[in-house]
Each structure stands twice: as C-alpha cells, then as structure tokens.
Amino acid sequence: MNQDLSRLTAAQLSELYRKNACSQKEALDSVEKNILVRDRDPRHIHAYVPDRPRCPIHRKADKASPLWGVPIAVKDNICVEGLETTCSSKILKNFIAPYHATVIEKLLDAGAVVYGQTNMDEFAFGSSCETSCYGPTRNPRDPERVPGGSSGGSAAAVADHTAFAALGSDTGGSIRQPAAFCGVVGIKPTYGRVSRYGLIAFASSLDQIGPITKDVRDSALVLGAIAGHDPKDSTSADVPVPNYTAFLGKSIKGKKVGVLSDGELKGLDPAVRGAAKEEAQKVMERLGAQVVEISLPNMKHSVSVYYIVAPSEASSNLARFDGVRFGHRSKEARSLLEMFEKSRGEGFGAEAKRRIILGTYSLSSGYYDAYYLKAMKVRTLIKRDFDEAFKKVDAIMLPTAPSAAFRVGEKTQDPLQMYLSDIFTISANLAGVPAISLPCGFDETRTGKPLPIGLQFLGRPFQEEVLFQTAYAYEQETGFHKKIGNVS
Amino acid sequence: MSSIDLKHVARLARLHFSEEELKFFQTQVAQILSFVEKLNEVKGLENVPPTSHPFSLSDVFREDEAKPSLALEEFLKKSPQSKGRFFQVPKIIEDKT
Amino acid sequence: MSAKYLTTIGLEVHVQLATKTKIFCGCAVEFGSAPNKNVCPVCLGLPGSLPVLNREVFRLGLKAVLALGGEPSALVKFDRKNYFYPDLPKGYQISQFDHPLGRGGVIEIPSGGATKKVRLNRLHLEEDAGKLLHDQLPDSSVVDLNRAGTPLAEIVSEPDLESPEEAYEYLASLKSILRAVGVSECDMEKGQLRCDANVSVRKNVSDALGKRVEIKNLNSFKAVKAAIEHEVTRQSAALEKGEVLTQETRLWDDDRQKTFVMRSKEEAHDYRYFPEPDLVPFSVKKEEIAATRAALPELPKAKGERFMAQYGLSAYDVQILNSEKEEADFFEACVKRYPHPKTLANWMTGPVAAYLNAKSVEFGSLGLKEEWLIGMAELVESGAISFQAAKEKLFPEVVEQKKSPRDVMKEKGLEQVSDIKQLEGWIAEIILANPKVVADFKTGKDSAAMFLVGQVMKKSQGKANPIKVKELMSQKLARV
C-alpha cells in the first residue's frame, strides 16, 4: 500500500475497504504513525490526551456499513467503557467509565473503530482548548495559535490527519468554532437529535454530540450513524433519521438563504467579512440560491443569556464531583466539609471554578429571578427570532467566529473577551437548531501561515439534510476541503 | 461593577479558595456579571414564558421493569476510599436525618 | 400545663411508592439487600448518566392524589434541589418545586368523638437519597446507595392538626388510604413511610402562630405522638418562663424520650431550585384522571359508610374494622359465608382487637383463616362454648397453634357443659351451700342471683354454659 491512507476521508477509506484494497490494521497504523510524529514534534500539537493509551475498540458488524473499519477519535468527555474518561480535568483522574455512551454503542454497531481520546477545554468550558489540565492543544495550521474549543483536540486531529474523523460536543459552539479555526467541517445537530447518554454533561439543555470531519460527506455519514432516539435519554427526540448522504449533490437552486445585516454582524474581522459574508454570498448566488436579508434582533443578547444559563446548569451538573465515589479526593480531607471543599478546590481549574461560581450565584436565593429566570425568558425571544426567520428562509448563513484563530495565551487573561467571541455560535444552542461549520477561506493577513475561516449554515429543527445539501453544494463549488493541512 | 459575597457562594458550591484566589476571582466574576446584567435592558418580558427545553417534548417514560445492576467490585477498586461494599467518607458525628 | 396552650401541627410524610424499580432507572427496589447491590450509573450519579421517569411511579402518584381528594396539576415538572451530602450522589435531588403532581386534598380523622377534616397542601414526587451509616467503622462513615433513587411521594398537610392524638390518627388514616389503593405498604419499619413533624404553640387563638420547630428522626407512629407531646410541653414551659423560642430543627431521641437541637448549627439551606433540564414536562390528561378515579378501589371512608348501612354496624365497629384493609376485606369475606355481620363484628372488635393490642401486631400477621373465625362464632352460637371461654382461651390457641377451633377445643377440653342434669346438679349444690344468699335473693336482692350464677361458673371451672345456668338458676330460685 503506497498511498498514505491517513490523508483519506472516511468515505474514501470505506471505498478501499469495499474493494479489499487495504486492511483495518493499515488504516490504524497510518494515523498512529502521524500521532507519533506529532509526539516527537517540539511544537506539541497535543490533539490527543497525553499518556493515555490508545487501543482500538470495535465489534463484529456488517462489512457493508459505510463506517466499517473507520477509526474515529472521541472527545475526552464521552464515556468509553473501560477507558479513563476525564473531561481533561484533574477531578476525574482515575474515573474509568463503566459503560459506553450511546453514541459509542452506535458507532461500534456501525462497525467503526473507536480509537483515541482527544484533548479538550476542561469540562468543555472554553473556546480555545487552553483550560485542559493536560496543557493546551495547538492549531495544526499554526502551532502558535489555538485550535479553538472546547473540542480543540478533535478538530486538530482531523485537520492534522491524525484521525479520519472525530466526535466532539457543542454547547455554545464547541464543535463549530474549532472546526472553523482548523479548517474542517463540524456540525452541531438539532438538540435531541443525538443521545446525550454518556456525554459528561456541561449544560443539559444546550449540549449535543456531533462529528468533526474532513468534508461534508463524512459529516453526513457519521451523523447518520450516531443520530436517533435513545430511551435512556429523556430529551432525545423520537424522529426518524433520514438518509443524509442521499441529499448530497442535490441542487440548491431556488433555496432561500438568510443573511444578517452589517448592523447585526458587528465586530467582524475584515478577512472574515470578506470570506464568510461577501464571498460566501456570491457563491450562494452562483449556486442559484436566493439570498435574503433577515433579522435576528435578539442575537445580541445571546452571550449574556448563555453565560447565565450554561454556568447555572453546569454548576449543578458538576456537583456530583464531590470526591465520594470516584475521581479525585483531597489527601487533606479530615472532615466532610474539607472533603468536599478541598477535593473540588484542588480538582477544578480556574475556568471551571469561575463558571461554578457564576452559576451558583445566578441560581441562589434572591438572584434567581434577576438572572436565571430572566435569561430563560430572553432565550424564548431568541428562539422566536429563529421561528420567524425560518418562515422566510430555508437556511441562515453567517460566519462561525468573528476572527480566525487567535494566539495561545492571547485571551486567557480576559475571560469576558473569550466569551464574546462565541457570539455567532451560541444562538443555535439556545434555540436548539442545527448548525454546520465548513471552511470558506483563509485569513492571510496574519504573520506566516494562512488561517482557516469558517462559515455556518443554520437550519430548521430536525432538517439536517438541508444543511448537508447546502454545505455540500458550497464545498464542491469552492473546494476548501481539499486544502486541509499537511503533516510534516 | 456588581460585588458579590464570593465567600458565601463558594461555600454553597463547596469550593475552597485561598485568599489570593478570592481576590482574583472577585474582580473577574464582577466583570462578567456587569456584562450579563445588560439583560436588564430587555423590556416586555412579563408575559414571555421561560424556555427550559427548545422543543415541546413531553411525557417520556420507561416501564417498571428491572434491568441488570452494575457489578460494583471493579468500580470500587478505583474509588477514592472504600471498605467492603461501602464507599468510605470521613466520620460524620451527627446525621442530618 | 399544655392545656393552657394551643398547639399547631403540620406533618410532612414521605411514602415509598410500591414499584418494582427505582424512579429514574431500572434498579430493583429491595429492602435489606447487600450494600450497593442495586445500583447503576444513573442512581450512582455517575458522569454522563441521565434519568428517565418510571411510568408506574407517575401512575401510583396520580392514584394517591385522587385517593386523597387532591387536584392533579395539569402540567407536572421536576426540579433540582441542590445540596451536598455523601448520600446524595448527584449533589442534587430530583424533586418537584412549583408544579407538584397534586395539590389540596383532605384526610378525615376521628377527633373527640366527631370527625375532623385535615386539609392537605400538596403531594409531589421525588427520589430518595442513599444511606449514611456511622456505626460500621470506628473512624469513618460509610455510604450505601441501594436506597438512592427509590421513588417517594411527599405528602404535606396544612397545619390543621391540634394535638398529638390527632397527629397519630392522621398517620393511621393516611396509611389505611394508601394501602387500600395499593400505592404503598407504608411500613415504617421497612422505611416505607417517614414522618417529620412541625410543631408550634401559642396562648390565644388571636395570637400569631408560634415559632415552628421541626422534629426529625421519628421512626414509628408512637414516636410521632410522644415527640409532639414532649415538644408541646417543652415549648409551653419555655414560653411560661418568658423565654423566646427559635425556629429550629430538633431530633427525637426515642431512648431518652426527648428532643434535642442538632449539634451542628444547621445553615439555612439555599437549595437553588431550578427546572430539571434532563427531564421533560408531563401532562395529566382528563381521560387519565377519569379512568384512574373510576378504577380506584373503595376507600376506607366509603367502605366504613357502606358497612354501617349494609351491615348495621356502629361507628365504633367501623373504626376498628377499617383500620387495615386486610381486616375489612377479611370481615366481608366472612360475612359472605356466614351472614351474621353483627356477631362477626363483635368478634373482630372484641377478641381479635384485644389480641392485636396485647401482642402489638397487625392483623395481617395473624394468619387468621376465615373458616376459623366463622367456626368459633358457630361454636359459641351453638352453645358448645361460652363466648368468654372462646375469647380468652380458644381464640389465642387457634391463632398460635394455627389449628381449627374444633380441634383446639377438643385438645384443650374447652367445651362448655350444657347438659341440664349436670347443670341442675351444680345449681342444687350451690343453693344448698349458700342459704344466706338465697335468703337475700328472696328479699329482693337481684345481685344475689348473679353471685350464685358466678359460683356455679367457678365450680364448673368456667365450663358451664352461663346462659343456661342463668335460666335454670332463675327457675330454681323461683321455686325455692
């Protein structure tokens, strides 16, 4: 086998399997080889959790399945039975998941090979992968820069050809923004489309698991495998899963695509404006879509709403990390109170503590109405904006992030600045609508390397097929999926 | 800038902070709260219902049928402190009952 | 002392619903299992686990609301109650805050010879915590999470109860209703029913309610009554001295029969309630309410009224019979086979009740068979044995030996003597032996006849048929 298998997409690998042109071992070896190259690299991209053994997990399945034999990496907040699963946090040291998350069961049933756990912001709190207790992951495009977060490891692995595909999770943009920063494709499904059972929870009403892949076809393949109703998750929707790949290649002529006015897209970097607004609109028009200006008047409140709702739910979800049954317990615990306070004090990083404090405060006596309840009401307004918009258009198009990847350490001193960069991704989580990010250009105004810029399409609930159709058309027209970086 | 009783909130959240950390977080949290308080500018919320779930799912049940339990032995091996089949914690003098 | 003060009592009762599995996962609900045997990622609160509501919990909860005369909420949702404790694996309890399963309702209790309506405030569903044990190891406490996730209904009364006796009756009535509809066995010893009491006193009706004290660690209905009695005395005495009472939580010490303040000053809990995002809301449809109501078995109150009308029983009879579903059902089954309801009721309220009280057991544990009770009633009716002898000697033997009354009667030689010749013989002897008493009788002292009858009973070692003796004695005395 002369070809470097690691550079293939999952679909292309699957094609080779069908022709019996390669073996599973060869596929695994090809990514493992790249991982080892990276490990030896002084630039330390760290897409994978360091010092965590990687062993392929798979089960007998139908060889005709499109994901059969495809190695897929998994973010460190998704439970894989028998593996230490830590959300990149000290507090979960030695927590061995005693069960598979439902998405893992589904991948295994589809014949995929679960291989490798990727680094993340601790408990998914972050947009840069810098809060991991294992150290930051770096952007393969430019290791001085962040890969985005919180699924930074998954995006970096896919962009770096150290994974064919990976699973991430998205609460406020954590799949889409790293996909944008690394130049790959990431989709946050409709809330309830994919089971959350086995996803270590951040914000229960916002979290979704989704694939990060090299192109739109792979995204459709992996989502098709992991989506579906799960009786173990009360919030999972009992809606049939369409054959997503059947929609790839269909024309989007006549489809109405909504765009926001300049007034509603404040703070855009000029390079992002160029690629993700001006150029993107031209591409849509070339493809025969009708570009319509729409308004999401309450989107400007989305960061405020999110940074009340998400930390509130998180502060409660993280209460189970108390040192009693699993994970870290402080050696200085002489009383019950000390056991709780010191274990949690020692185990959680700064961002986690910040969010727990914010969340606890928002829910506390005397403040619930002013913060949490108010935020939940404005959330309704944000959702209504989308309901209105989707009466007029089939998809909404906007940039994924206001700028391309920033430098490691650039925003760590100012949490608020970090939060504000989530402005374009957060609304989709608050409204529950699906959203896909794919590459739409490069920012070449920074020093040295061209940095990927991401474009989002948002769609109606449970109509991911429209997103795939639209994104595929865009991708085929522009060819950015062919420009994923090299391993050198 | 809003100022909050960080010590009280930390106690509610069972988080230990050193004096230094308290100062550090106090400023940052106050800044963030100032920002989110912009929500007070949104008017007309009296008749707006809060959204807990984006979509109106309801009535999801499971049947009253026993499922296999977890084999605890393996799990206990990795627990911070255990004795026999119990999880062990510092001695509590008085029960909250 | 406490007669000077008015007492106000509210009770919070947690009842374990009679399901096979826990409220949010498929682990079995089993009393007395090995520690941490019935656990899974969900009830252990492991990362990534999610709750799914047990349909049977909802159904039983709804039944309970309707049986208690409450109003089911149209929209039902769950909320998180957040606090840290080692027996609470998730660091929050899934409970209900502002949209409980039901509101209102009424429990009728006997009070001072009449019935009193005690209003209910609400019934809501929630999961139980695990158990913390302090006596297993010398230097640590240990956690057993078998109980974590057990389904509970919390039933809160309005503060309408005004005495420890009323509190006791309330619990007894609540238990009989919930058992009658199959919602819970309510066995406190098995932890299926727990009760906290809120007690305050004040001098005058016009005064504001006094400072409320919450009493916990009450493990039996008797303890509830005793604890409230003690608290009322303590609070009244304190107020008499001019002391100011504080709102606090106290624990009941059953050994020392007193309450004491929890040593660790309990911080006021800020539970930070918010809607449970991992569960969806639930609707209670009108059809379901109607169907559940229609399918409710006869409730104790209705049953009592029917017994009085159908069988001509007294209120007292009914109070005893209705105290347990098994008793009432047993009684009716017996009546069907031996249609002498008043006789059977006398048996139930007499010998049976006396035996249950003396042995401090419940009717269900007797293992009494219908044919035995009917058999005993028949033996008394036929004169084979006196009612007195049957009550004191036959009944206990039947229950303890688990043998039929005829067998026991023969074994123990309990037949009463009804043979006229034998009786006349004894009567003649007694009359001869007591000339003075006979003379008294002749002067008009009726009690003398009773004395003579008593002597015959003594002579016969209780075996003489007292009714026959009376009859024959009157005849004899008339001719003396």
Q: Tell me: the pLDDT tens digits for A428-442?
A: 999 999 999 999 999
Q: Give every CB contact of residue C41 below 8 A, 6+ residues apart in sequence.
A: A98, A99, B70, C48, C49
**Between the CA of residue A484 and those of A143, A309, C42, C190, C286, what are the distances in Å?**
15, 35, 41, 65, 59
Decide if B25 and A383 are in contact by the 8 Å CB cutoff: no
Phi, psi of C317 (to 5 degrees): -55, -50
- pLDDT of A176 reads 98
Q: What is the pLDDT of residue B1?
A: 36
d(CA A162, CA A184): 13
A255 is an active site residue: no
Structure tokens at A53: 């053994």
What is the pLDDT, as a whole number, of residue B97?
A: 41
Burial of C204 (0-12, 13-18, 19+ CB in 10 A): exposed
* Residue B73 in contact with partner chain C when CB distance is under 8 A: no
Number of CB atoms found within 10 A of residue C465's CB: 24
Could C47 and A235 be called an inter-chain contact, meaning their C-beta atoms sit closer than 8 Å? no
Classify residue A20 as exposed, middle or buried by CB count within 10 Å of its CB (0-12, 13-18, 19+).
exposed
Query: pLDDT at position A1, please?
Result: 53
**Cβ-nearest to A98 among C41, C51, C277:** C41
* B2 part of contact set with chain A, CB < 8 Å: no
Strand partners, C152: C16, C126
What is the percent of chain B with per-residue pLDDT over 70, rounded to a whole number? 93
CB-defined contacts A:B, below 8 A: 162
Which amino acid, residue C305? E
Cβ of A377 within 8 Å of Cβ of B40? The answer is no
- Record: contact C132-B65, CB cut-off 8 A: no
CB contact under 8 A, B66 and C85: no
Q: Which pLDDT does position A487 carry in this prediction? A: 38
Neighbours of A257 (CB within 10 A): 23
ipTM for the assembly: 0.96
Contact across the interface for A360 and C272, Cβ inside 8 Å: yes
Nearest to A234 among C46, C51, C92 (CB): C51
d(CA A372, nearest CA chain C) in Å? 9
Partner-chain contact A344 B14, CB within 8 Å: yes
Residue tagged active-site, from A174, A315, A343, A362: A174
Within 8 A of A342 by CB-CB distance, chain B residues are 16
Give residue-wise pLDDT tens across range C329-351: 999 999 999 999 999 999 999 99
Cβ-Cβ contacts under 8 Å for A271 (sequence gap 6 or more): A403, A404, A441, A442, A443, A444, A445, A453
CB contact under 8 A, A198 and C51: no
Q: What is the number of other CB atoms lying within 10 angstroms of the CB of residue A76?
A: 30
pTM: 0.91
Name the region of A173 (left: φ>0; alpha: ψ -120 to 50; beta: rest). left
A319 and C46 in contact by Cβ < 8 A?
A: no
Residues 6+ apart with CB under 8 A from B87: A324, A325, B76, B79, B81, C36, C86, C142, C143, C145
pLDDT of residue C264: 54
A174 has catalytic annotation: yes
Nearest to C90 among A101, A312, A319 (CB): A319
- Within chain C, which residues score under 70 in pLDDT? 1-3, 263-268
Which residue among A324, A341, A379 places its CB closest to the CB of B87?
Answer: A324
What is the side-by-side order of every strand in the sheet holding C92-95? C92-95, C79-82, C274-275
Is residue A36 within 8 angstroms of chain C, CB to CB? no
Comparing CA positions, the residue from C272, C289, C396 lying closest to residue A363 is C272
Q: Report CA-CA distances (Å) from A10 to A2, A107, A112, A211, B32.
A: 18, 13, 10, 12, 42
Alpha-carbon gap, residue A171 to A425, rounded angstroms: 9
Residue type for C437, please?
A: V
User: Which of B72, B79, B86, B91 to probe the C interface (max C CBs under 10 A)?
Assistant: B86
Q: Please report, in tens digits, the pLDDT of each residue of chain A (488 residues total).
A: 568 999 999 999 999 999 999 999 999 999 999 999 998 887 888 999 999 999 999 999 999 999 999 999 999 999 999 999 999 999 999 999 999 999 999 999 999 999 999 999 999 999 999 999 999 999 999 999 999 999 999 999 999 999 999 999 999 999 999 999 999 999 999 999 999 999 999 999 999 999 999 999 999 999 999 999 999 999 999 999 999 999 999 999 999 999 999 999 989 999 999 999 999 999 999 999 999 999 999 999 999 999 999 999 999 999 999 999 999 999 988 899 999 999 999 999 999 999 999 999 999 988 999 999 999 999 999 999 999 999 999 999 999 999 999 999 999 888 888 888 899 999 999 999 999 999 999 999 987 789 999 999 999 999 999 999 999 999 999 999 988 864 33
Give C-chain residues touching A204 at CB under 8 angstroms.
277-278
What is the pLDDT at residue A145? 95
Q: Do C278 and A234 make contact, defined as CB atoms within 8 angstroms?
A: yes
Residues in Cβ contact with C471 at an 8 Å cutoff, skipping those fewer than 6 apart: none
Query: In the prediction, which pLDDT does B95 show?
Result: 54
**Chains in contact with A, counting 3 or more C-beta pairs less than 8 Å apart as contact:** B, C
* B68: closest CA of chain C, how far (Å): 7
CA distances from A344 to A329, A340, B16, B29 (A): 8, 6, 7, 19
Give the pair of three-digit tokens for residue A459: 């769609």
> b vs e for A88-111, b when ≥16 Cβ sit within 10 Å of the residue's Cβ?
bbbbbeebbbbbbbbbbbbbbebb
**Residue A75: active-site member:** yes
Distance CA A479, CA A440 (A): 9
Which chains are adjacent to chain C, needing at least 3 Cβ pairs under 8 Å?
A, B
Cα–Cα distance, A151 to A210 (Å, whole number)? 10
Asked if A361 reaches chain B (Cβ–Cβ under 8 Å), the answer is yes
| Nearest CB to B87; choose among C26, C41, C143 | C143
Of C47, C53, C82, Cβ closest to residue A200: C47
List CB contacts of A146: < 8 A, sequence separation 6 or more: A128, A129, A130, A136, A137, A138, A139, A152, A181, A405, A406, A407, A408, A410
